[in-house]
Amino acid sequence: MFSEAAESLRNIEKELGDFKQKNKAFDISLEGQSILEEVSELDNERSLLERRITYYNNLQNYIKSNKEVGDDIPAPVNVTIEDPNLVKNITELVELSKQKKNLQQSVKEDYPPLQTLKEKINITRNVVMENLANLKQETQVSLSDVKSRTSRFNSRLFSLPKKEQNLVQYQRNYNLTAANYEYLKQKQYEAGTAIAANVSDIKILDKAKDVGQGPISPNVLFNYLVALVLSVGLPFVYILVKEALSNKILTVEEIEKLYNIPVLGVVGRSSTDSYVAVFSRPKSSLAESFRALRSNIQFLFKSGLKSKTIVVTSSVSGEGKTLCSINMASVIAMSDKKTILLGLDLRKPKLHVDFDVNNEIGVVNYLIGQAQIEDIIQPTRVPNLDIITSGPIPPNPSELILSDNATTLMNYLKENYDYIIIDTPPVGLVSDAIELFKYSDAVMYIIRQNYTEKGMPKMMDEKYKNGEVKNISIVLNDFKIRDTYGYGYGYGYGYGYGYGYGGYGKYGNGYHQNELKEPWYKRLFKK
């Protein structure tokens, strides 16, 4: 591939030189140079998008044609994958396939755990295929946009003199070919470096001879003992120090190790300031995260439900439950489902600010008998999505949530909406949210990366373990990983994204006056 690219570059370079000599055309006007620079940038962008679509197609064909997904899954050689849910779901699919292969060696096909494993594989396979279909569709939309912009520049190109048109076109082809050549050259260099790193350049000129008294140095036994002590002691000390310095949840693996509650998915970071990110930026990685959550949560619902209720809560303020409530409601509404977002965080209401709607009359007014249900429902700018804000802050929120009017309201909403999303207060600070679990068909428990302390979800995990809470899943929010992250099935994906949480602060003090402070040594290191 590299040699073909080099040959193609030489041919195009010769054609460009011949054209310049033959037509005495050496200079491009300022207008032509402007067109050339912008259209060359679009050509490179189009080339990247086309490679990405090709990779998605190859991955789809692989999954369709292979019942067993293994380490030979196609690697993204010429593209960068930016979607964390695709990485997570493919990793899970590969791991489940390995478990199935190992289990089949020792049990019969009708063994119940094996059948359950096959079921999980089919579900995960379908989720991956849906991820790929969505990503391919988004990429095709981006490609169409690039082609449209390229056409506009082509129209400007035709306004130039004929000789300059041809010169710009030759230079454009040369630029695109040169860019592809440099890209392949870099990839070849990286591959060669990786191979060279594994090949020793040490040669044995003459073997050492034992003259009867044994080697003076090195002292092999002593070195082995030192190596053993260091290999065991240093990692142990490192782990102890690391654990002592950090009591925050960082990874999905930590969640799966510490708690019994299953993980529903992850929500990444984004640079947008809008809380309704899935509506304002539907092509973003964050929007795709919530689409994946929308797909995954369907497996928690019982079959035959006319209306589905999702309760969203967290341990403490600042973990992103309101952001997740808003975007989960929006992404469901965007799938043509009649949806309502119910704000039952009566102590620290925030939904009206994010949607820029009136909060003078809300659910509190209905619960105390001052308004009818129809009076408190407001439309939003998101199609198919209505909202009920909290209204004025009451002195007795817990009693209002336990009132008969609350039950009447929920029955009305279940009759009139396909989905009900309830934004609740944190369960670690007040008991209101747990009282609302009786209305839920699924509970999303939000944990924020590098913010939620490991001890905070334990109370809810105990309730789940004892059967007091069902259909609850954890969502890891504000998730950010390194540029390269190995997932153990043959290669790593690199991706990046950012989501601003500048307004959260330290847990907030909207529920209790005393803030939860960091350990003294961490505050010292930040100074």
Each residue's pLDDT tens digit, 50-71: 888 888 888 888 888 877 776 6
Split at pLDDT 50, 70, 90, the class of 518 is: very low
The yes-or-no verdict on residue 89 having pLDDT over 70 is yes
SS3 labels along 460-475: HHHHHHCCCCCCEEEE
Judged by average pLDDT, the poorest of 179-183, 479-483, 490-494 is 490-494
The yes-or-no verdict on residue 297 having pLDDT over 90 is yes
SS3 labels along 139-195: HHHHHHHHHHHHHHHHHHHCCCCHHHHHHHHHHHHHHHHHHHHHHHHHHHHHHHHHH
Q: What is the pLDDT of residue 27?
A: 62
Structural domain spans, the chain: 2-195, 252-505
The yes-or-no verdict on residue 156 having pLDDT over 50 is yes
Give the contacts of 393 (CB within 8 A, at least 6 positions apart).
Answer: 346, 347, 349, 364
**Token couple for 460:** 């809810």
Give the contacts of 70 (CB within 8 A, at least 6 positions apart).
Answer: 94, 97, 98, 489
- CB-based burial of residue 24 (10 Å sphere; 0-12 exposed, 13-18 middle, 19+ buried)? exposed
Highest mean pLDDT out of 23-27, 43-47, 205-209, 283-287 = 283-287
Report, as an integer, the average pLDDT of 485-501. 32
Q: In DSSP terms, which residues pair with 332 in a beta bridge?
A: none
Q: What is the pLDDT of residue 496?
A: 31
Report, as an integer, the average pLDDT of 37-44. 76
Of 258, 270, 389, nearest in space to 320 by CA: 270
The yes-or-no verdict on residue 507 having pLDDT over 90 is no
Give the position of tokens 């063994």: 111
Does an H or E element contain 222, and which?
Answer: helix 220-245
Report the topology of domain 252-505.
Answer: Rossmann fold (3.40.50)
Each residue's pLDDT tens digit, 348-398: 888 998 888 999 999 999 999 999 999 999 999 999 999 999 999 999 898
Give the position of tokens 């109370």: 459
- Higher pLDDT pick, 490 / 343: 343
Report, as an integer, the average pLDDT of 217-226. 76
Q: Say whether pTM exceeds 0.85.
A: no
Split at pLDDT 50, 70, 90, the class of 236 is: confident
- Higher pLDDT pick, 452 / 49: 452
Judged by average pLDDT, the poorest of 116-125, 169-178, 241-250 is 169-178
DSSP 498-522: ----TT--SS-SSS-SSPPPPPHHH
Q: What is the pLDDT of residue 361?
A: 94
Three-state DSSP at 109 gives: coil
Of 515, 467, 464, nearest in space to 316 by CA: 515
Residue 488 phi, psi dihedral angles, 5° rounding: 80, 20
SS3 labels along 299-365: HHCCCCCCCEEEEEEECCCCCCHHHHHHHHHHHHHCCCCCEEEEECCCCCCCHHHHHCCCCCCCHHH
Split at pLDDT 50, 70, 90, the class of 447 is: very high
Q: What is the pLDDT of residue 114?
A: 86
CB 114 within 8 A of CB 102: no
Mean pLDDT of the chain: 78
The yes-or-no verdict on residue 247 having pLDDT over 70 is yes
Highest mean pLDDT out of 92-101, 213-222, 224-233 = 92-101
DSSP 55-77: HHHHHHHHHHH-SS--TTSPP-S
Report, as an integer, the average pLDDT of 409-430. 93
CB 368 within 8 A of CB 397: no
- CB-based burial of residue 428 (10 Å sphere; 0-12 exposed, 13-18 middle, 19+ buried)? buried
Angle (nearest 5°) at CA 334 between 331 and 336: 130
Q: Give the type of residue at 7.
A: E
CB 502 within 8 A of CB 275: no
Q: What is the pLDDT of residue 180?
A: 67
CB 453 within 8 A of CB 425: no
